[in-house]
Amino acid sequence: MTEDHRRPAQYTSLRDDRLRGWLGTTVRSYSPALGPILADHGIDRPRRATLEALRALPVVPVDDLGDGHRHVLEPGVEGFGRSAALSLQVRFLLADVVGRRDDFARRHIDPRFKPILWTQEPTMHGTRFVANTATDLDRLATLGRRAWATSGVRADDRVLLVDDGSAGTVHRQMIEGCRNAGIAVLIARIDDAAALMRTARPTVVAGPVDVVASLSSSFGPSVRSICVDVGDEPDLVLDADLPVARWWAPPAARAAWVGCPGGAGFHTWPEDELAEIVDGSLVWSAVGWHGSVWLRVDTGVLATIDDAACPSCDRTTLRVLVGDPS
């Protein structure tokens, strides 16, 4: 049984276990934007941080996130000492006594809470900044590996990833996923991509959908599939002679979803997020992420959720089908 072929109850158990300590302690204590809201709704300790409590929080329009800065967790060394698990508090105090507090912070606080990579996501009103910690990047790499597998890409493939300079979530997840899966990847500028098709002989071409489509006439016989970032067009249907996997990062989502070749909808990550449909609109919440954290964000995308196994790839992760069900 692989990570994406679990029984539904297993996904639920993994998410709920992760939710309790993270929402009831980490987010409540360290989020300037969400801490007061959680306190107002009685989520002030792990045992009260349930899925039902999360679903009772107000839905926030995605445009209300602004530039994202207020949603970055800010523990600080002192805050960590007050709110961390008891065993870590003791170690923190001992480190402070012996004058090694900074070293303790580097080893135990920074990996989870210090943003080391910022990505930019375009919005209607400018740019939203997304903070990634080392722990977040490890998670993104794991989800990237699973996304490549969902796309039908193997460890012996050679990926030509066309870089259009956007440096968003999908692009970063593709790179981190290749690293995690041991897939060889060559990152190419748009102007160089056609020539590299001949010399690098990739088996997979990936990148923004419009860029990949413009390069289709340059595909050599080695190319067996394509993976496209559909951007803000998740309902796009691409007419191609090769298998196509569609990658889509919903507004505010910390990781991209993948539509498997030949399948309908997008496979989600049930243990790392909560996807809901509220009044027909897709609402997204983080679960277990650290740098940037947002909860119950109305993406403005009309969608439905299908919890049946995918008839195309047999994966049991929830699938989001974009479009007005009526």
Domain span at residue 35 reads 8-58+69-117
Average pLDDT estimate for 212-240:
90
Looking at residue 2, its pLDDT comes to 80
Q: Are residues 18 and 89 in the same domain?
A: yes
Instruction: Provide the β-strand partners of residue 132.
Output: 117
Would residue 180 count as lying in a domain?
yes
Looking at residue 65, its pLDDT comes to 94
Looking at residue 77, its pLDDT comes to 58
CB atoms near residue 257 (< 10 Å): 26
CA distances from 152 to 70, 112, 136, 175 (A): 38, 31, 24, 16
How much is the pTM?
Answer: 0.93
Q: Are residues 113 and 137 in the same domain?
A: no
Query: Apex CA 183: angle with CA 179 and CA 186, to 5°?
Result: 85
Q: Are residues 39 and 110 in the same domain?
A: yes
Q: How many residues does the chain have?
A: 326
Residue 125: burial class (beta carbons within 10 Å; 0-12, 13-18, 19+): exposed
Residue 14 has pLDDT above 90, yes or no: yes
Residue 81 has pLDDT above 60, yes or no: no
Would residue 16 count as lying in a domain?
yes
Would residue 53 count as lying in a domain?
yes
Question: Which domain-ending residue is among 247, 276, 292?
Answer: 247
Residue 159 has pLDDT above 70, yes or no: yes
Looking at residue 99, its pLDDT comes to 80
Least confident of 88-92, 114-118, 263-267: 88-92
Looking at residue 237, its pLDDT comes to 75
Would residue 271 count as lying in a domain?
no
Would residue 292 count as lying in a domain?
no
Q: Are residues 238 and 138 in the same domain?
A: yes
Query: Which segments of 144-194 are extended strands (E)?
Result: 158-163, 184-189
Name the nearest CA neighbour of 267 among 325, 231, 317, 322.
317
Rounded to whole angstroms, how far apart are CA atoms 120 and 313?
A: 32
pLDDT in tens, 176-188: 999 999 999 999 9
Higher-pLDDT residue of 205, 80: 205
Residue 105 has pLDDT above 90, yes or no: no
Q: Are residues 151 and 99 in the same domain?
A: no
CA R_g for the chain: 21
pLDDT in tens, 39-75: 999 998 889 999 999 999 999 999 999 999 999 998 8
Q: Are residues 165 and 75 in the same domain?
A: no
Would residue 265 count as lying in a domain?
no
User: What is the count of structural domains for the chain?
Assistant: 2
Rounded to whole angstroms, how far apart are CA atoms 30 and 274?
A: 20
Would residue 256 count as lying in a domain?
no
Looking at residue 103, its pLDDT comes to 82
Rounded to whole angstroms, how far apart are CA atoms 246 and 261?
A: 8
Name the nearest CA neighbour of 297 among 17, 88, 85, 71.
71
- CATH number at 240 reads 3.40.50.980
Residue with tokens 């909560």: 274
Average pLDDT estimate for 121-140:
90
